[in-house]
Amino acid sequence: MTRRTLAVVSAGLGQPSSTRLLADQLAAATRDELARRGDTVDIRPVELREHAHDIVNHLLTGFPSPGLREVLDTATGADGLITVTPIFNASYNGLFKSFFDLVDAGALVDRPVLVGATGGTARHSLALEHAVRPMFAYLRAVVVPTTVFAAPEDWSAGTADGALRARITRAGAELAEQVHRRAPSTGPADPFALTTSFEDLLGGLGH
């Protein structure tokens, strides 16, 4: 039995937030599938709203507050990452992008990611494919094939059921599959680690 961590990053702005609701359902579906495969799962929710000021401060000063450091480490050090953003003006919201702008370029390489989004109309749904997926592709994360978009009509019964439920279950299974086949994460990368010696550095110049 392997212990796995799932970081669940939600960029919802309202409270309560339908974005967070979708994030929680994606996390539960992933957890259930991992449990079925014999893994134990530690879910770590992150509400970016709570760190909005620290995110802007980091953009300006170049370093995170201790609280934001912990959140960044959670997001980049987990075995699997679930992210859900509201769609604003046909793309992720600014809070979501600002947060991931603070993630080092190599921090999510080969990390399984499940992306979801919420929006006021189903016409926003492809934003997951043309905006969110390419951003994670740039970071060389492994985004599972199924993305999950929830519009107001999906919540009409007050719970996710029908087509949305099926999609959540499928996406969660895909993320669980990617997490399960990998060795457990060794945690976030150390930016201060020396990865070469001086002889190699100077030798690379032909001296």
Partner 1 sequence: MQFGVFTVGDVTVDPTTGREPTEHERIKAMVAIALKAEEVGLDVFATGEHHNPPFVPSSPTTMLGYIAARTQRLLLSTSTTLITTNDPVKIAEDYAMLQHLADGRVDLMMGRGNTGPVYPWFGHDIRTGIPLTLENYDLLRRLWREDVVDWQGKFRTPLQSFTSTPRPLDGVPPFVWHGSIRSPEIAEQAAYYGDGFFANHIFWPKEHTQRMVGLYRQRYAHYGHGSADQAIVGLGGQVFMRRNSQDAVREFRPYFDNAPVYGHGPSLEEFSAQTPLTVGSPQQVIDRTLSFRDYVGDYQRQLFLMDHAGLPLKTVLEQLDLLGEEVVPVLRKEFDSLRPAHVPEAPTHASLRAAAEQAAGPDDLAGAEAGR
Positions that interact with partner 1 (CB under 8 A): 56-57, 60-63, 65-66, 191-198, 201-202, 204-207
CB of residue 61 vs partner 1: minimum separation in angstroms? 5
CB of residue 45 vs partner 1: minimum separation in angstroms? 24
CB of residue 64 vs partner 1: minimum separation in angstroms? 8
Q: Residue 63's CB: how many other CB atoms inside 10 A?
A: 10
- Comparison of 60 and 183: residue with beta carbon closer to partner 1: 60
Q: Is 134 helix (H, G, I), strand (E, B) or coil?
A: helix
Locus of tokens 């006021």 = 120
- Comparison of 90 and 202: residue with beta carbon closer to partner 1: 202
- Comparison of 134 and 187: residue with beta carbon closer to partner 1: 187
Contacts 24+ apart (CB under 8 A), 151-160: 151/118, 151/119, 151/120, 151/121, 151/122, 151/124, 151/125, 152/120, 152/121, 153/122, 155/18, 155/21, 160/21, 160/22, 160/25
- Comparison of 186 and 192: residue with beta carbon closer to partner 1: 192
User: Nearest-CA neighbor of 45 among 78, 2, 91, 86?
Assistant: 78
Question: Is residue 66 reached through a cis peptide bond, with omega within 30 degrees of 0 on the bond before it?
Answer: no
CB of residue 142 vs partner 1: minimum separation in angstroms? 28
CB of residue 51 vs partner 1: minimum separation in angstroms? 13
CB of residue 68 vs partner 1: minimum separation in angstroms? 10
- Comparison of 57 and 91: residue with beta carbon closer to partner 1: 57
Instruction: Enter the DSSP assignment of 124.
Output: G
Which residues, listed in sequence order, are joined to residue 113 by a DSSP beta bridge?
81, 143
- Comparison of 89 and 195: residue with beta carbon closer to partner 1: 195
Q: Residue 204's CB: how many other CB atoms inside 10 A?
A: 9
